[in-house]
Homo-oligomer: A and B are copies of this chain.
Amino acid sequence: MSGRPSDVRDAADVPRWHEEAEVVVVGLGAAGSSAAIEAAATGADVLVLECASGGGGTSATSHGQLYLGGGTSIQKACGFEDSPEEMFKYLVASCGPGPDEEKIRLFCEHSVEHFNWLVGKGVPFKESYFAEGTDPMTDDCLSYTGNELAHPWCEIARPAPRGHTVRQQGPSGGVLMQQLLGAVPDAGARVLPDTHCETLVVDRERAVVGVVVRTLGEERFVRAVRGVVLTTGGFIQNSEMVARYAPLLLQCTPVGCDTDDGSGIRMGVGAGADAIRMEAGLVVLPFVSPVGLRRGVLVNRQGLRFVNEDVYQARAGELAVYGQGDDVFLIVDDTIFERTDLPSVVAAVGADVAELEAELEIPYGSLQATIRRYNEDAERGEDLLFHKAPEYLTPLANPPYAALGCGESERCTTFSLGGLHTRPSGEVLTPDGREIAGLYAAGATASGLAAQGYNSGISLSDATFFGRQAGAQAAR
């Protein structure tokens, strides 16, 4: 698969238009369906092109969790106070460095409205709070899916749980997409599945006026009277792009459909767009959840801690891969030990910490000193070094001890966060900050709320919320 931007086609070279719509949406995942619904809601004629036989994309395979807040009805029903301002403070602090404050502002101010929009489309949420972790595998809704309760964020903004998981036992991305996909024809948008698109058509002023579709080796041309919305997902399955833009992520296992091949980003860049934050990625260590494992002690190759273990799993992963060379272990005792949510390996076991240390080839005494210190702090009930919350602070004192780690195939998981530079309203920008006429993007094809730091649910919120903005703007 090529990692290079796609060539554009000159409109003058289009022999004839086989199809035409006011708004053409490329890719029918969460972003594409939201864009199509909102574009069609304005009365525009909307055509969606999807390369797979059915819509859904990576969103349909996800946990079905959306990051929403500011005082949704679910938050209120469960007794949690939240406001757009607290949500804004938290996201600015956790989505950096250098997050897009304009996008975060718009998102926070309209988050309640967006939740209601989803409900209006038939997406079901239960009025319940799930306290036992970040990803309810029950049909519960609300949970913490970020660092809100952890130091230092708990001092920056008043914490509130903002993960809203769609009502369903087990992963619920399929339910979300079922509702959104159903709403697309309801809104009046047409969908063409099995339709592969890798090329934009531009006019003499470099405005985007259509797309080229390939079927059975033949080219067909689809005219977009008002605009094209690119919602084809991210690029984590395109190893050439990952090597070029985010080499540190090569050591991780990509998460997402094959269609996360960066085609939308490559089409956009080929048409003159800027791709930003391309080095950024979500990283999840395979051994930091379920939540009980926060009672473990995360150490690097030197046996030293580097973070409070109650940060959100994405933060721990980011620090491990971008700061510790991905060479970290979670130390647990027999009390804490449990099966991890993702496949991980037991890198070593020991009757005492000294034995574990030797097994791991950690320099003599270092892990012992770390655990001794940790246990002293835990006894006193205060993690003086990293300020882990007291509820996860218990001495590791029940042998045997184990170190959880990565294996050959049990690696960190990752997806890309960088993408096309867009306005909050979806217009794709050139490197000099100008809009490319007729071109819009949303979802993982664009650089969104998370410049680097990630909270779970952000991807689906990014996709649906900014998909809506892009669709509406393209139809205007």
Task: Name A residues whose Cβ lies closer than 8 Å to a Cβ of B.
Answer: 4-7, 96-98, 243-244, 247-248, 269-270, 272, 275, 279, 302-306, 322-324, 363-366, 369, 373, 376, 384-386, 430-433
Q: Which residues of B contact A305 (CB under 8 A)?
A: 302, 304
**Contact between A384 and B366 (Cβ–Cβ < 8 Å)?**
yes
Report Cα–Cα, A433/B365, bound state, in Å: 51
**Contact between A431 and B363 (Cβ–Cβ < 8 Å)?**
no
**Contact between B5 and A431 (Cβ–Cβ < 8 Å)?**
yes
**Contact between B433 and A4 (Cβ–Cβ < 8 Å)?**
yes
Residue of B nearest to A304 (CB): B304
> Of the candidates B248, B364, B431, which one forms a contact with A269 in the assembled complex, judged by CB atoms under 8 Å apart?
B431
With A4-B433, A369-B369 in contact, is A243–B98 under 8 Å at CB?
A: yes
**Contact between B431 and A275 (Cβ–Cβ < 8 Å)?**
yes
With A432-B4, A433-B4 in contact, is A369–B364 under 8 Å at CB?
A: no
Given contacts A4-B433, A270-B431, A364-B384, 20 further A-B contacts (CB under 8 A): A4-B431, A4-B432, A5-B430, A96-B247, A97-B248, A269-B431, A269-B432, A272-B272, A275-B431, A279-B279, A302-B386, A304-B305, A323-B323, A323-B324, A363-B385, A365-B384, A366-B373, A366-B384, A369-B369, A369-B373
Report Cα–Cα, A4/B429, bound state, in Å: 12
Q: Which residues of B contact A279 (CB under 8 A)?
A: 279
Report Cα–Cα, A304/B244, bound state, in Å: 34
**Contact between A98 and B432 (Cβ–Cβ < 8 Å)?**
no
Q: Is the interface of A mostly helix, strand, loop or mixed?
A: loop
Q: Which residues of B contact A272 (CB under 8 A)?
A: 272
**Contact between B302 and A432 (Cβ–Cβ < 8 Å)?**
no
A395 to B: closest C-beta gap in Å:
16
Interchain Cβ contacts under 8 Å between A and B, 23 examples: A4-B431, A4-B432, A5-B432, A6-B432, A96-B247, A97-B247, A270-B431, A272-B272, A279-B279, A303-B385, A304-B304, A304-B306, A304-B385, A322-B322, A323-B323, A323-B324, A363-B384, A364-B384, A365-B373, A365-B384, A366-B373, A366-B384, A369-B369
Report Cα–Cα, A362/B385, bound state, in Å: 8
A150 to B: closest C-beta gap in Å:
15
With A97-B248, A323-B322, A369-B373 in contact, is A270–B384 under 8 Å at CB?
A: no
**Contact between A302 and B385 (Cβ–Cβ < 8 Å)?**
yes
Report Cα–Cα, A217/B376, bound state, in Å: 71
**Contact between B247 and A98 (Cβ–Cβ < 8 Å)?**
yes
Report Cα–Cα, A305/B97, bound state, in Å: 24
Report Cα–Cα, A4/B302, bound state, in Å: 43
Residue of B nearest to A7 (CB): B432
Report Cα–Cα, A243/B7, bound state, in Å: 31
Residue of B nearest to A97 (CB): B247
Report Cα–Cα, A39/B279, bound state, in Å: 36
Q: Give the interface centre of A324, A432, A433 by most chain B CB atoms within 10 Å.
A: A432
Q: Which residues of B contact A322 (CB under 8 A)?
A: 322-323
Q: Which residues of B contact A269 (CB under 8 A)?
A: 431-432
A245 to B: closest C-beta gap in Å:
9
Q: Which residues of B contact A363 (CB under 8 A)?
A: 384-385
A357 to B: closest C-beta gap in Å:
11
A277 to B: closest C-beta gap in Å:
9
Report Cα–Cα, A365/B305, bound state, in Å: 15
**Contact between A432 and B270 (Cβ–Cβ < 8 Å)?**
yes
A250 to B: closest C-beta gap in Å:
9
**Contact between A385 and B366 (Cβ–Cβ < 8 Å)?**
yes
Q: Give the interface centre of A98, A324, A373 by most chain B CB atoms within 10 Å.
A: A98
Q: Which residues of B contact A324 (CB under 8 A)?
A: 323
